[in-house]
Structure 1
Amino acid sequence: MSSPAAADGAVSGVVLVLPDGEPESARGPSAVSRAAALPLARTLARAGGRDGLVAHVVRYRGRGWNGTEAQLARDAVWAADEAVRRYGDIPVCLAGHGMGGRAALRAAGHSAVNSVLALAPWLPQDDVTAPSEPVKQLTGRQVLIVHGTNDARIDPELTYRLAERAKKTNRDTCRFEVHSDGHALRQYRAEVRALATDFVLGALFSRAFARPVADALAAPPPLGLRMPLAAGFGSLPRQRR
């Protein structure tokens, strides 16, 4: 793991940021994907510094998921183990984009993990007809999935169906849709980072969530799983309860 930022004093919570990867690859970890994950880690570390939050970008052993090996998920579990070894019994949030989002969801069963943030998580296309992604490991965790409606790489409906299955056994699951945004979630980057910050700090430190997040977690499907991310989210103080 690597730490782009660390809070002074005692550490009270950890967020492990999981970079994107590839479905199949024997190559080493991608420096480009790691660099793309750093801004989110830095944003979260700055926002949670007073609470004792530390953020790490996980260094994978390679860049491939590689079928049943689920290598990136294994690396996420290792990172959670390492966080416990370093910091003790404190809550951990797994946050990932693309294939890193899939790894975060899959590794959520680790005993230290209390929350998962999955940004445009990569899911296999056969999830439509024969769901292959497990959801049982999400039970007892707070889960936020974010997906752009114009994602040309990953069908947003795949994450909706995953969230729908997860919601049946874990009520603390919600999903936000970013209208007209693509896979990288660049068009509304500020809003996505504000949403991620609100969720991560709320989940790790029991802060009150912004009203849209609280409403999405409380709402039954499909409302809480198709919550629109409003332009300007996070810029108005009145969004908090």
Structure 2
Amino acid sequence: YRHRGWNGGAAADDVLRALGELQERFGPLPVVLVGHSMGGRAALHAAAHPAVHGVLALAPWLPAAEPAVHLRGQRLVVLHGDADRITGADDSVNFVLRARTAGAHAGMVMITGAEHAMLRRLTTWHRLATEIVADLLRDHPAKDGTVAEATAPGAPAFLRI
């Protein structure tokens, strides 16, 4: 990032700039954005970019007024630990619900006992992140698995693992 901190969205601007440079250099490529904490917020802000096939936000920082209307039609999954004391899991739940209302295919997985640093239940974080990114890259989402279960119409606010 060119700047530290949110600074009115400068981190998201950096993501958009990087996506533009990627397209300019390599042409159209499917991209899944993965970000942790503020990086998750930046990835979600940049989700409407045409190259983005989906977003995986890990313990994202999502203040109550975080916009979600730009996510219509986008696929996104939030992973959050229920023992996180840095960013609020409740804020993530509320964001996912707002994203669904805006027309996003959004879901959330709550990891029991996991904290912000993602060190507790490390193999669970890694397994889920790998599965989710692989599915988000598909042109046709899998009919089963974590993404399908978390983002299905009528799915609960979050799955607990």
**Could you say whether these structures have the same fold, taking a TM-score greater than 0.5 normalized by the shorter chain as the test?**
yes
- The C-alpha deviation readout for 1:45-83, integer Å capped at 9, x for no partner, is xxxxxxxxxxxxxxx1122211xx211000010111111
* Paired position in structure 2 for 1:191: 124
Q: 2:42 aligns with which of 103, 108, 115?
A: 103
**Does residue 1:218 correspond to 2:152, yes or no?**
yes
Q: Describe the SS at the equivalent of 1:181.
A: coil
Q: Is the 8 A contact 1:202 1:209 kept in 2?
A: no
* Paired position in structure 1 for 2:3: 62
Shift of 1:209: 6.2
Gaps of 5+ in 2: none
AA matched with 1:64: G
* Paired position in structure 2 for 1:154: 87
**Does residue 1:208 correspond to 2:149, yes or no?**
no
Q: Describe the SS at the equivalent of 2:53.
A: strand
AA matched with 2:146: P
Q: Is the 8 A contact 2:118 2:125 kept in 1?
A: yes
* Paired position in structure 1 for 2:33: 94
Q: Is the 8 A contact 1:198 1:209 kept in 2?
A: no
Aligned length: 160
Name the CA shift for 1:209/1:203 in 2 (closer, same or farther; >3 Å). farther
Q: Is the 8 A contact 1:173 1:217 kept in 2?
A: yes
**Does residue 1:115 correspond to 2:54, yes or no?**
yes
Q: Is the 8 A contact 1:199 1:209 kept in 2?
A: no
* Paired position in structure 2 for 1:227: 159
Sequence identity (%): 37
**CA–CA separation in structure 2 for the residues paired with 1:220 and 1:79:** 35
Q: Which has the higher contact order (CA 8 A, sep 6+)?
A: 2
Shift of 1:212: 3.2
Q: Is the 8 A contact 1:148 1:179 kept in 2?
A: yes
What's the TM-score once normalised by structure 2's chain length? 0.92
Runs of 4+ more than 3 Å apart: none
Gaps of 5+ in 1: 1-59, 230-241
Q: Is the 8 A contact 2:69 2:102 kept in 1?
A: yes
AA matched with 1:175: M
Give the number of the structure whose alpha-carbon radius of gyration is greater. 1
AA matched with 2:35: G
What's the TM-score once normalised by structure 1's chain length? 0.63
AA matched with 1:211: G
**Does residue 1:164 correspond to 2:97, yes or no?**
yes
